[in-house]
Chains A and B, each alone.
Chain A
Amino acid sequence: MSDFFSSFWGWYVAAISLISMLACLVLLWLTSKKRISSGSDNTTGHVWDTDLRELNNPLPRWWMWLFVITVLFSLVYVALYPGLGTFSGIWKWSSDSAYTTERAQLKQTVAPLFAEFANQPVTTIMHDSRAMAIGERLFMNNCAQCHGSDARGSKGFPNLTDQDWLYGHSAEQIIETITKGRNGVMPSMAAAVGSETEISELAHYVMSLSGSPHDSLKASAGKKSFSACAACHGADGKGNTALGAPNLTDDVWLHGWGENTIVSIIKNGKNNTMPAQEGKLTAEQIRVLAAYVISLSNSTSSTNTALNGSK
């Protein structure tokens, strides 16, 4: 009703609804009182267009009572449920409260399911096929939007099936990542590194760390500038999971690969966020989800067991 400016419309709708229902009753009462004459040939005696005659085929009386019941039902209905203008009904039903109740009920029904996982170590949960099926559904509903349904991520969204972990791969760390979210920040390093040439040389040095194709002259020239990066990425470029600083020596390139991309990141920095899930998921759900995520990278088969494990 908030769509209307004046409370008049609430009364207007209520009045029309009530008058219509009562009018139906009055109509039924009037027709039940009405008597017509029926001829011996079972017509009403009405003739149109010289030979069209109206047959008398009355409705059964129980049918009329069905009509009456319908009207009474609608009266009870608008008394109990919101239907008359702004009146919210005796039962105070609303789609909002229905949603909240259903959610609460659902939580209650699934609580015992998750309860048994609450105290299990994540490594045990990982080997419970039932938990993994739950985990997959949780992943599909809550994580796949960014990380992909096969959990292999995309540009800017980490692959969860490899061995490279920005924030560590222990159960506690993954649970924390899911619960609290992560915000990875790399500041702009242009000032610290220096000129365009120096940045380009540094980029080639970074590429050399992982053995990617690079210009070795430039790389050796860029090595000195890496001290600016070492604070976070470490002197050997292997990164730091405490800060979420990526390992630069492997061939995982979350934000893209190649000189141009790396130069751009050194110049502009990078800010990447994973949102916290604690408001959406319960601690037990997150526990199961963490077990599922760990299981993804522990699989040895070439195909993705996570996806193949479902029914």
Chain B
Amino acid sequence: MQESADSRKNTVIPIALEEDSTAVVSLYEAHQKVYPRSVKGFFNYWRWIFVGLTQLIFYGLPWLNWGERQAVLFDLGSRRFYIFNLVLYPQDFIYLTGLLVISALSLFLFTAIAGRLWCGFACPQSVYSKIFMWIEYRIEGDRANRIRLDQGPLNIDKLCRKTSKHGLWIAISLWTGFTFVAYFTPIKTLTAEVLALQLGAWEIFWILFYGFATYGNAGWMREQVCKYMCPYARFQSAMFDRDTLIVSYDQQRGENRGSRGRKLTRPEYVAQGLGDCIDCGLCVQVCPTNIDIRNGLQYECISCGGCIDVCNSIMDKMSYPRGLIRFSTLSGMAQKMPPAAMFKRMLRPRVMLYSGILLSLCLGLLISLNVRAPFKVDIVRDRNSLARIVGPGKIENTYRLQIMNATEHVQHYKIELAGIPDLSLDSEYIVEVGPAQSRWIGLRAQLNPGILKSGSHPVDFLITVQGEKPQQLREKSVFLVPR
């Protein structure tokens, strides 16, 4: 405790509003390493659950198979994106846009309701930092041990601990990079390539790059990513209001803070002018961003709830009621609302609006994914010859038609014309396209002379997939009649 008070005086940014001191500081702050103390409790438990869930998905998904292929695979080389039963083409990019808009809106919604839940619980930066900190904790010990180790001289013990910590970090990072690349190269191929030391240059680059990013961000940068790099930290205030649940310190109950004997009863310490906060400083020690939550909401706070957990454990020890630091809203704090009243305020226009847009977007995306035709077509009028006369004076136009099969079965497509009576294709076209393949077909449309004036006439190509559920796409083009 004494030590934390000292370090506070030395920091460039004074954390607490204490004695009136004016420091002369540089424009560039030397980084102060944060040594978060380990913590147990409700929110910590949930953080671990989220670490487990997100990482189960991230590390596990590439191992999942769907039929003959990897369930989720982004095949950049052949430009096919497989997501379970979906085969997406680059032309389906709109779905990615939809997904990103939905993600952004969900973030807005969660933020409006409960602040930076994403940051504390699901953001890869927090999740990997959490994993890395746990390794650090197992090897180097808790906060005090780590500080002592860092300040101490380099000896065998320190060397062993540091080496094994970084070794483990690097191993996890490489595994993360490997998994990342496995979303783009099938994981079986990739594993074989790694074992045979035959990785491609780009695979090596991305494994190392992604691994380095994991190692650097989760091992070294940590809270600095949230403080200096993440744009979300900076624009979150636009989504906050007085009814947003945030980690808050109950100032009315806590102040004045100060140490006291454990046996003191409430009337006794109140008589001494003390509140419930015993000023143990643990809430600052557990904070992964090294802020003092008692100063109120700060942009550094990632809503991880560590300070809540540790404060509750102290309150238990002191036999005070829990919740000196808790998730609450600004108006709830000010008006001493019961939780039910705060939850009621959750249904405010901002939240309703976000939810409404989010819901309709999700529905829209699901519906459009369901009704989308299982193939795509693109018709290109031949640019090389406008029109030609064939056989007994017929006018012929040439087209190239691309059919993209978005299923994983061989499909047959029938091609017909509409829009100009008497215009016909030179033969019957029933085209076979292999699973998830695309194919170019040359088409010739012919018209007897004298039916149409010279010039450009709109014509539609009808492409129908054969089978149990025939579906038709209509593609526009023009037919040219020469002068």
Give A contacts to B, CB under 8 Å: 31-32, 34-42, 45, 56-64, 144-150, 152-155, 157, 251, 256-257, 302-304, 306-308, 310-311
Within 8 A of A (CB), among B211-234: 224, 228
Give B contacts to A, CB under 8 Å: 12-14, 17-31, 224, 228, 382, 384-386, 388-391, 393, 396, 398, 400, 426-427, 429, 431, 437-442, 444
A33, B82: Cα distance in complex, Å: 55
Q: Is the CB of A311 within 8 A of B439?
A: yes
Q: Which of A64, A146, A310 contacts B28 (CB 8 A)?
A: A64
A304, B441: Cα distance in complex, Å: 8
Q: Is the CB of A58 within 8 A of B27?
A: yes
Q: Is the CB of B23 within 8 A of A63?
A: no
- 8 A–B contact pairs at CB < 8 A? A31-B28, A35-B26, A37-B23, A149-B382, A150-B382, A150-B442, A154-B385, A311-B439
Q: Is the CB of B31 within 8 A of A149?
A: no
CB-CB under 8 A for A155 and B400, given A36-B24, A40-B17: no
Chain A residues positioned under 8 Å from B393 (CB to CB): 257
Q: Which of B20, B27, B398, B427 contacts A152 (CB 8 A)?
A: B398
Q: Which of B22, B30, B388 contacts A153 (CB 8 A)?
A: B388
A208, B396: Cα distance in complex, Å: 25
CB-CB under 8 A for A58 and B388, given A40-B18, A150-B398: no
Q: Is the CB of B19 within 8 A of A36?
A: no
Q: Is the CB of A307 within 8 A of B440?
A: yes
Q: Is the CB of B27 within 8 A of A36?
A: yes
Q: Is the CB of A61 within 8 A of B427?
A: no
Leading 5 A-B pairs by shortest Cβ distance: A307-B442, A154-B385, A58-B29, A150-B442, A61-B28
Given contacts A62-B31, A149-B382, A149-B400, 11 further A-B contacts (CB under 8 A): A36-B24, A36-B27, A40-B18, A40-B22, A56-B13, A58-B13, A60-B29, A144-B384, A148-B382, A148-B385, A152-B398
Chain B residues positioned under 8 Å from A308 (CB to CB): 431, 439, 441-442
A69 to chain B, nearest CB (A): 14
Residue of B nearest to A36 (CB): B25
A41, B393: Cα distance in complex, Å: 91
A41, B15: Cα distance in complex, Å: 9
Residue of B nearest to A62 (CB): B31
Chain B residues positioned under 8 Å from A58 (CB to CB): 12-13, 25-29
Chain A residues positioned under 8 Å from B31 (CB to CB): 60-62
Residue of A nearest to B396 (CB): A152
Q: Is the CB of B28 within 8 A of A63?
A: yes
User: Looking at A64, A153, A304, A306, which has the most chain B CB atoms within 10 Å of its CB?
Assistant: A304
B309 to chain A, nearest CB (A): 27
Q: Is the CB of B22 within 8 A of A303?
A: no
CB-CB under 8 A for A63 and B17, given A58-B27, A147-B384: no
A149, B397: Cα distance in complex, Å: 11
Q: Is the CB of B398 within 8 A of A148?
A: yes
Q: Which of A61, A148, A310 contacts B439 (CB 8 A)?
A: A310
Chain B residues positioned under 8 Å from A63 (CB to CB): 28, 228
Residue of B nearest to A39 (CB): B22
Q: Is the CB of B27 within 8 A of A302?
A: no
A228 to chain B, nearest CB (A): 28
Q: Is the CB of B28 within 8 A of A32?
A: yes
A199, B24: Cα distance in complex, Å: 106
Q: Which of B17, B23, B228 contacts A38 (CB 8 A)?
A: B23
Residue of A nearest to B26 (CB): A35
Residue of A nearest to B390 (CB): A152
Residue of A nearest to B401 (CB): A307
A40, B384: Cα distance in complex, Å: 76
Chain B residues positioned under 8 Å from A152 (CB to CB): 385, 388, 390, 396, 398, 444
Residue of B nearest to A55 (CB): B13
A38, B429: Cα distance in complex, Å: 79
Chain A residues positioned under 8 Å from B24 (CB to CB): 35-38
A231 to chain B, nearest CB (A): 29
Q: Is the CB of B21 within 8 A of A40?
A: yes
A145, B384: Cα distance in complex, Å: 5
Q: Is the CB of A303 within 8 A of B384?
A: no
Q: Is the CB of B228 within 8 A of A59?
A: yes
Q: Is the CB of B429 within 8 A of A303?
A: yes
A130, B400: Cα distance in complex, Å: 21
A76, B396: Cα distance in complex, Å: 60
Q: Is the CB of B22 within 8 A of A38?
A: yes
Chain B residues positioned under 8 Å from A251 (CB to CB): 391
Chain B residues positioned under 8 Å from A150 (CB to CB): 382, 398, 400, 442, 444
Q: Is the CB of B18 within 8 A of A34?
A: no
Residue of B nearest to A213 (CB): B392
Q: Is the CB of A311 within 8 A of B438?
A: yes
A176, B88: Cα distance in complex, Å: 45
A308, B415: Cα distance in complex, Å: 14
A107 to chain B, nearest CB (A): 21
Residue of A nearest to B437 (CB): A311
Chain A residues positioned under 8 Å from B23 (CB to CB): 37-38
Q: Which of A36, A45, A61, A307 contacts B400 (CB 8 A)?
A: A307
A40, B306: Cα distance in complex, Å: 26
Residue of B nearest to A303 (CB): B427
CB-CB under 8 A for A153 and B385, given A63-B28, A307-B441, A308-B442: yes
CB-CB under 8 A for A154 and B388, given A40-B14, A60-B31, A308-B442: yes
A138, B390: Cα distance in complex, Å: 26
A129 to chain B, nearest CB (A): 14
Chain A residues positioned under 8 Å from B385 (CB to CB): 148, 152-154, 157
A149, B439: Cα distance in complex, Å: 15
Q: Which of B27, B224, B384, B440 contacts A310 (CB 8 A)?
A: B440
B201 to chain A, nearest CB (A): 15
A308, B440: Cα distance in complex, Å: 6
